[in-house]
Structure 1
Amino acid sequence: MWNVVAGVLDVCCVLVFVGIGRSSHDEAASVTGFLNTAWPFLVGVAVGWALLRVWRRRGDAVPVGVGVWLSAVVVGMVLRVVSGQGIAFTFVLVALVFLGLVLVGWRGAARGLEAVRRDKPERV
């Protein structure tokens, strides 16, 4: 179950990044344009999951989050260039910061919540 939730959260993080970016640049709200922007980063997340075998490493919140984050950005940018979408230095920086915050951040928050739950005495 955790793997499904983690996968959905990673995809949502990328989709939020794309949605905010496209709306801040007043790009048309077409589904095709949205998916065209999102697919390289979604592939990057999938590559990170495959390389790190994320489904086997639930407890490694920070290393896994960092790996998925860097994979999403690096693979995403390479695929953007290869597909003719192009990149700008500021776009790379924004992607690094935003995706880092959300892809590592939700894992850190989840780990913190698990720690709080473990330390909390059960009520009878």
Structure 2
Amino acid sequence: MTRTWGWIAAVVDIVLIVVFALVGRSSHAEATSLAGTWTTAYPFLAGWLVGWLVVLGWRRPLRVWPTGVVVWVATVAIGMLLRVLTGQGDVAGDPLPLSFVIVATIVLAVFLLGWRTVAGLVLRVGRRGRGRA
């Protein structure tokens, strides 16, 4: 069952990162084309992949700590670094606006940690309910 949860967790994370990119592009009136979405999402997806591999995310995919936290921090940190290195997001000469870093960090925390928290609670409640029957 852990193998299944590993795939599910990876897909959920990836979808949420793409949603983050889509919402960001939409909020700035940028095209939501496949190429545009990829351009925005890939730095964060690359960061996610590094975090997933470092923490061996498939082993404990639903854990907030360390899996979720390591994946989240890597997604944000590497994503921001790649955006700067590729010239994405430059606003009036500022390659990394603080407001974007704050919003991205919070939104990705809610996305990547939030669903794991909810899934963990649901699974715990489900186990308790089955234990009483």
> Normalised by the size of structure 1, how large is the TM-score?
0.93
Amino acid at match of 1:87: L
- 2-structure distance, mates of 1:81, 1:68: 20
Q: 2:50 aligns with which of 47, 51, 54?
A: 47
Q: Which residue of 2 aligns with 1:99?
A: 108
**Counterpart residue number, 2:23:** 20
Q: Does the CA contact (< 8 Å) of 1:22 and 1:34 recur in 2?
A: yes
Q: How far 1:13 moved relative to its partner?
A: 1.0
**Quick check: 1:62–1:107 contact (8 Å CA) kept in 2?**
no
- From the superposition, tell whether residues 47 and 114 of structure 1 become closer, same or farther in structure 2 (CA, over 3 Å): same
Percent identity between the aligned chains? 43
Alignment correspondent of 2:96: 87
| Residues in 1 aligned to 2:109 and 2:62: alpha-carbon distance in whole angstroms | 18
Q: Number of residues paired by the alignment?
A: 124
1:64-75 superposed matches below 5 A: 64-75=67-78
Gaps of 5+ in 1: none
Would you say the 8 A contact 1:62–1:104 is kept in 2? no
Q: Once the 2 structures are TM-superposed, how far is the Cα of residue 40 of structure 1 from its aligned partner?
A: 0.2
3-state secondary structure, aligned to 2:32 = coil
Q: Which residue of 2 aligns with 1:113?
A: 122
Given that 2:55 and 2:67 are in contact with CA atoms closer than 8 Å, whether structure 1 keeps it comes out as yes
Counterpart-to-counterpart distance in 1, 2:37 and 2:62: 33
